[in-house]
Structure 1
């Protein structure tokens, strides 16, 4: 099989008019240049150059071959340049998956601003709370909230957030405020992605960990719906800071359990591999981290 590098060396020899000149242009020893052209002639079974002590001259076959080589080498160089340009400049389709609540609250404005900065990128966002198989389903990037499961994927933390046990002022006035983790078992708990099971792990401000039994007659798969139900007085709820910070600020919700909270989590960018990370993925992760520093839920 013919070597494209040998063809490129041949074109440089013809353009330079000598093996010495081509060697200087290519940064190779003259002997290497001469050997590569000889190998090319041997593989083709023809003589491409007539060599004299004073000059090189293309044979008739060599002249035709040179024109074809020049076109092929130019196209190969252009292909390499196009890859380099794509690596340097964000462009192409970027497929992202993100949690419904985070995407609805924070991604729209970020994506619009990113596209103004990088107009050669086309973005597709799929919002949902299922864990997507990035490689199998063809996604470039996942944004995930909470504690990440062990996996072979790479992850970069974009923002941290606390999780609180909250309730409405009306609920706490009617049912009383829990004083210890064990008191939670006597309260109605809204079960959600932040507290999906019958037991809830809590961490004290001093670093002590405990697990308490919880119960509730409302279970939802949406943090936003769990928050709204808590505001309406349905019961206690565990909520990430990004979901409840505005309600806490405006008094629609209160922190129901002081000194204890579910372990904090965060927002992560997850992607298959850091090797050959495309410009569109890297630039979007960098841009999103810029917009989440500090996070909107920390700006109060």
Structure 2
């Protein structure tokens, strides 16, 4: 049995001066209280109580155990109180890893606002497009899209984003606009390293799914370099549609196969433990999910689902 529980039963018995009153206070039977004290006496190897018709009183050994038990139980209460405060506080160092496009467009501004609202919070944000191991690299949280990679941490999907295939009109004028998924084989795909297309994309239309052939022409881990490649006519690529909505509207970019839906991109929160409570982490994850839901509301044509469970 839990030794702290045995010590608590012992101290309550002495405080009450009676096993029967201690039983009522602890919500146990008197025989259970007596059994717990016998267990404690067996653990320490000393008789701790004198039992009389008037109640119970400590032996010399019992007085010593009582004194130390009060210190131990008080220390444990202070420990749990501090842990509760830590769990509910928004303070201290918080290390987070985010990829470039979400970090700059969504998460970075959110973290700046959160940091300003909490004076004792120190956010350490790393913008990096590699897949990190939150446990081994000592991160409190990572936000990732597409996949979470190899990690000892826990991944939870918090949103999915609609993506779009696009290129410059000049590139499509030069190469010819594809009329169906099979025509994508004529074009070069500029791939983000997270995509890992393995030669095909699942495109859907009217509930029908087709595996479209993908010819990789360039791969990079920097979204801005990928956009630069597209702008210079090196090929087409895929991004969340909200990122380039304005450019699609003003004609800078043009959708490739506009009647077909490209695969959704999932957004994951990755953290070291499923059971650890961290108010800072929860604020950030909820904030990201809320912000993505706001983007969906601002762009009705952008299908983006947020998950808070």
**TM-score, normalising length: structure 1:** 0.81
Name structure 1 gaps, 5 residues minimum: none
Seen in structure 2, the aligned counterparts of structure 1 residues 60 and 215 have a Cα distance that, compared at 3 Å, is closer
- Is the counterpart of residue 211 in structure 1 residue 212 in structure 2? yes
Superposition pairs for residues 104-123 of structure 1, below 5 Å? 104-117=104-117, 121-123=121-123
Seen in structure 2, the aligned counterparts of structure 1 residues 244 and 193 have a Cα distance that, compared at 3 Å, is farther
Q: Matched residues in 2 for 1:24 and 1:195: separation? A: 64
Deviations 1:52-89 (A, max 9, x none): 32243334443343222211111122222323333444
Q: Matched residues in 2 for 1:97 and 1:123: separation? A: 11
Superposition pairs for residues 57-96 of structure 1, below 5 Å? 57-96=57-96
Seen in structure 2, the aligned counterparts of structure 1 residues 22 and 129 have a Cα distance that, compared at 3 Å, is same
Seen in structure 2, the aligned counterparts of structure 1 residues 174 and 24 have a Cα distance that, compared at 3 Å, is same
- Is the counterpart of residue 131 in structure 1 residue 131 in structure 2? yes
Q: Matched residues in 2 for 1:93 and 1:35: separation? A: 47
Once the two structures are TM-superposed, the CA of residue 285 in structure 1 deviates from its matched residue by 1.7
CA contact (8 A) 2:135 2:151 kept: no
Q: Matched residues in 2 for 1:157 and 1:294: separation? A: 17
CA contact (8 A) 2:205 2:259 kept: yes
Once the two structures are TM-superposed, the CA of residue 18 in structure 1 deviates from its matched residue by 1.8
Once the two structures are TM-superposed, the CA of residue 203 in structure 1 deviates from its matched residue by 0.6
Seen in structure 2, the aligned counterparts of structure 1 residues 157 and 261 have a Cα distance that, compared at 3 Å, is same
CA contact (8 A) 1:194 1:240 kept: no
**TM-score, normalising length: structure 2:** 0.79
Q: Matched residues in 1 for 2:162 and 2:285: separation? A: 22
Q: Matched residues in 2 for 1:220 and 1:42: separation? A: 67
CA contact (8 A) 1:241 1:297 kept: no
SS at match of 1:135: coil
Moved more, 239-248 or 24-33: 239-248
Q: Matched residues in 2 for 1:203 and 1:173: separation? A: 22
Once the two structures are TM-superposed, the CA of residue 112 in structure 1 deviates from its matched residue by 2.2
Please name the residue that 1:244 is paired with.
Answer: 244
Once the two structures are TM-superposed, the CA of residue 261 in structure 1 deviates from its matched residue by 4.6
Please name the residue that 1:157 is paired with.
Answer: 157
Name structure 2 gaps, 5 residues minimum: 301-309
Please name the residue that 2:235 is paired with.
Answer: 235
Please name the residue that 1:53 is paired with.
Answer: 53
Once the two structures are TM-superposed, the CA of residue 111 in structure 1 deviates from its matched residue by 1.1
Q: Matched residues in 1 for 2:47 and 2:152: separation? A: 54
SS at match of 1:238: strand
Please name the residue that 2:305 is paired with.
Answer: none
SS at match of 2:81: helix
SS at match of 1:24: helix
